[in-house]
Amino acid sequence: MTVFQRNEGAVQSTVPYLSVAGLRDLVGTVGLPTMLCALADRMSTAFTHWDAYAKSPRVTHETASGFVELMPVADAQTFAFKYVNCHPGNTALGVPTVAGFGAMMDLETGRPIFLSEMTVLTAMRTAATSLMAARALARQDARTLAIIGNGAQCEFQALAFQHGLGIDALRLYDIDPAATAKVQRNLAWTGLDITACTSAAEAAEGADIVTTCTADLRNARVLTDAMVVPGMHLNALGGDCAGKTELDPAILHRAEIFVEFPPQTRVEGEIQQLAPDHPVTELCDVLRGAHQGRGSAEDITLFDSVGFAVEDLIALSYCRDMAMETGLCGDLDLLVSPNDCRDLFGVLAS
C-alpha cells in the first residue's frame, strides 16, 4: 500500500478494502466463533459509551419492489455509513434479498480509510449484537436455544450463542423444511445437539432462549403467547421495519422489553404494536450498569432488536483492524495523490 507522510503519521493514498473473498479468508484465519465473540465484546464496550455516538436518521428510498437505505453514524474519530437494500421479491429472480456494503472515514481529514462488503458482515454483527444482549439478559444457566426462521441469519446466531453463552442444544423450526435441513448440514460439525421441529411451539418447548428471525414482511405471530414461559429470554430480530413483526402482542405485555435506540425501535420493532409510551429499557443502560437487566429467574426478557448503525461502525472497525493485521485487505485506487492539492487536472495528465 502506497503511503505518504503527514505531520503525525501516515495517510494512505489507497483505501483498504475487504471483499467477500477477503472476509471469507479472514473468517478462515481467525475463526467465526472467535470473531463473533470478539465483536460482541467490542459491541458491549461501545454500548457503555452510547452517548459518544452521533446518531443520524437513516436515509430511506422506497419503491414498489423494496427499499434502499443509507445508515450513517459517527464517533469522535470516525464517520461511517452502510448501504443496504431489502427486496423480498429478489428471491424469485434468483437474486439475494439483501446486499450491503459500507465505508469508514477519518474525521480529522475526511479521507476514506476502509470499504467493506457488508452482506455477510451484517449477519455477523447482528449475531454479535444478539449475543451481547443475551449475555446481559438471559438466565446464566441457559443451555437450550430455539431458532424460529432458519434463513440467512440462523447459523450465525447458533454459533455466537454456543461459543459466547454456553448453549449446547439447538431446536430449529422453519415453514420450509429445506431451510432447517440446510442449517443441520451447515452446523453438523459443531457438536451442538440439534433437533428439527415441525412447529414453532415444538421448537420453543423447553428452550431457555428463543430467537425469531423470519423474513415474512407482515405483522405475523410467529411466537404466540402460549409458547412463552417464565424465565425465557426472547431475541426477536425479524421485526425490523414498519409493518413487519413476529410476536403476539400479548407477549409484549408480559415481557420486560430492551431496545437499542427507542426512536428507531418504536417505528421498526415489535413495539410498533404497543402504545408509544409503553415502558422500554435501553440496552446501553444495562451494559453501563444503570439498569439491572433481568430481575429474577422467572422474568421474561425480550430484546426487540432492529439493528442500529453503531453496530455497523463497530463491525467495520473490527474488520478493518483484523484485515490490516492479517494482511487480507485489498487496496482501492479511489484517492487522488496529494502532489499538488490544487492540481486535479494534473492527475489526469500523469
29 binds its own copies (CB under 8 A): no
101 binds its own copies (CB under 8 A): yes
* Contact present, 77 and 289 (Cβ < 8 Å): no
SS3 114: strand
261 binds its own copies (CB under 8 A): no
318 binds its own copies (CB under 8 A): no
24 binds its own copies (CB under 8 A): yes
Contacting residue, 81, 114, 303, 318, with its own copies by CB under 8 A: 81
Q: Give the C-alpha separation, 117 to 129, whole Å.
A: 19
The three-point CA angle 160-166-167 to 5° equals: 75
Write down the H helix ranges in 49-176: 119-137, 154-165
27 binds its own copies (CB under 8 A): yes
CB of 313 to its own copies, least distance (A): 12
The interface region with its own copies, picked from 113-121, 137-145, 239-247, 312-320 by CB under 8 A, is 113-121
Angle between helix 154-165 and helix 119-137 axes, rounded to 10 deg: 40
The interface region with its own copies, picked from 40-48, 197-205, 275-283, 326-334 by CB under 8 A, is 326-334
Contacting residue, 1, 2, 3, 21, with its own copies by CB under 8 A: 21
Q: Give the C-alpha separation, 214 to 236, whole Å.
A: 9
184 binds its own copies (CB under 8 A): no
Choosing from 174, 208, 240, 304, the catalytic residue is: 240
The three-point CA angle 265-131-321 to 5° equals: 100
Q: What is the DSSP string of 225-279?
A: GGG--TT-EEEE-S--BTTBEEE-HHHHHHSEEEES-HHHHHHHSGGGGS-TT--
Strand 100-106 relative to strand 78-86: parallel, antiparallel, unpaired? antiparallel
Query: How many positions of this chain bind its own copies (CB under 8 A)?
Result: 82
Active site includes 240? yes
336 binds its own copies (CB under 8 A): yes
152 binds its own copies (CB under 8 A): yes
CB of 189 to its own copies, least distance (A): 10
177 binds its own copies (CB under 8 A): no
The interface region with its own copies, picked from 193-201, 266-274, 316-324, 342-350 by CB under 8 A, is 342-350
193 binds its own copies (CB under 8 A): no
Q: Which residues are catalytic?
A: 240
